[in-house]
Amino acid sequence: MIRHIVFFTLKDPSETPEIIDHLMRLGTIPGSTLFEVTQNRKADLFGNEIDVVVYAEFPGIDALHAYKKHPTYTDVTNIVRPRRELRFAADVEG
Instruction: Report if residue 7 sits inside a domain.
Output: yes
Over residues 27-36, mean pLDDT:
97
Residue 28's pLDDT is what? 98
The model's confidence at residue 72, banded by pLDDT at 50, 70 and 90, is: very high
For residue 87, tell me if it sits in a domain.
Answer: yes
**33-70: per-residue pLDDT in tens?**
999 999 999 999 998 999 999 999 999 999 999 999 99
Its domain, for residue 31, covers 2-42+60-71+80-93
- 51: in domain: no
Q: For the chain, how many structural domains are there in total?
A: 1
Long-range Cβ contacts of 9-17 (<8 Å, 24+ apart): 9/49, 9/50, 9/51, 9/84, 9/85, 9/86, 10/51, 10/52, 10/83, 10/84, 10/85, 11/83, 11/84, 11/85, 12/83, 13/51, 15/83, 16/51, 16/52
Q: Is 48 part of a structural domain of the chain? A: no
Is 55 domain-assigned?
Answer: no
Residue 16 lies in a domain: yes
pLDDT bucket at 91, cuts 50 / 70 / 90? very high
Residue 49 lies in a domain: no
